[in-house]
Amino acid sequence: MDPLSSLLSGIRAEGSVVSHAVLRAPWTIRFADGAPLTMVTVLRGGGTLLLPDGTERVIAAGDTTIVRGPAPFHLADEPATVHRPHAEYEINCLATEAPCSAQELGGIRWGTDPGGATALVVGAYRASGHRHERLLRALPPVLVVNEDAEVCAWMESSAADAARLSSGSQALMDRLLDWALVCTLRTWFDQAGADAPSWHRGLADPVLAPALHAFHGRPADTWTVASLAAQAGVSRALFARRFTELMGRPPLAYLTECRMDDAEALLADTDHSIAQIAKAVGYADAFGFSAAFKRHKGLSPSAYRAAAA
């Protein structure tokens, strides 16, 4: 599994579709559900994101924004609206014990005017376990990607179909938002340049990519710099130098970091034994794994598991 697919495996839009909103100004939406990630695609019109740290970010038709949680934030037709009379909406689905449904919001399509100036597709993502935390660390507090007009038209058509609450509508929107999240993140990573995570930059490099795919596909194998260089088809010295320059750390340091991150998720999200986890992340015995984990994470595997529980 490639790194992005692995990180996304811990976060899903399972029953998390909140709304296809059609709004006439003035309006605000308060996002208060504490979702790890919230995605908003502007189909028509636009608004301004108001983040907890005071940041304001304008988003317009064709923009998809991803906001990193869990702190509440607002989306308003314009910043001044929050200080004067307006239509207020709140999304607070994931913070409650019972999942929020489209019906509880008055239907997937909500707002005061079906012909309103602004149309949005909004989704909040649920996390399963701890794996998604690595994805959050790779993202800024908010990112914006401009989508193709045809993509927005297709999304609005799909949202309208789901609004009819026909058979399979929830699954349709869940899969739509999962697809949109992957596409948006891939586009942002491609555009981020030096700000993109090192593993993404490495996957774009013709020398490093084969080795990274091999390692992430078989992390339990006994990898060495020589075996990784063989995957890349270059000398050991050239591979080590290129890897360190592009990834910011030597190959084996990167492998250890990835293995420790995988071990964190396995310790927190499974009941596998320490020996089983050691084998899964490429260590021959539990003793060597435990020593490496404590050196890198500051806690023994057992202590980390207890703290996570």
Helix (H) or strand (E) holding 159: helix 149-163
The 10s digit of each residue's pLDDT in 21-55 is 778 888 898 888 788 888 888 888 899 999 999 99
Residue 181 DSSP code: H
Q: Which residue has the tokens 């995605």?
A: 39
> Is residue 2 within 8 Å of residue 213, measured between CB atoms?
yes
Q: How many residues are present in the chain?
A: 309
Q: Which two tokens stand for residue 226?
A: 């020589």
Per cent of the chain over pLDDT 70 is 81
Q: Nearest-5° angle of CA 37, CA 43, CA 46?
A: 80
What pLDDT, on a 0 to 100 scale, did the predictor assign at position 110?
Answer: 42
pLDDT of residue 223: 94
Q: Is the distance from CB of 88 to CB of 10 less than 8 angstroms? A: no
pLDDT at 51: 94
Cross-strand pairs, 73: 31
More confident residue, 66 or 108: 66
Mean pLDDT of 287-299: 93
Q: What pLDDT is stored for residue 107 in this prediction? A: 33
Rounded Cα distance between 186 and 191, Å, is: 9
Q: Give the tokens for residue 131.
A: 């794996």
User: What is the 8-class DSSP label of residue 114?
Assistant: T
Residue 124: per-residue pLDDT = 80
Confidence of residue 163 (pLDDT cuts 50, 70, 90): low
Three-state DSSP class for 190? helix
The predicted model scores a pTM of 0.76
Q: Which of 5, 295, 29 is closest to 132 using CA atoms?
A: 5
> CA 85, CA 39: separation in Å to the nearest integer?
26
Q: Contact at 8 Å (CB) between 126 and 14? A: yes
Q: Give the separation between CA 280 and CA 42, rounded to whole angstroms.
A: 42
**pLDDT category of residue 99 using cuts at 50, 70 and 90:** very low
**DSSP code, position 171:** H
Task: Please tell me the predicted confidence (pLDDT) of residue 20.
Answer: 64
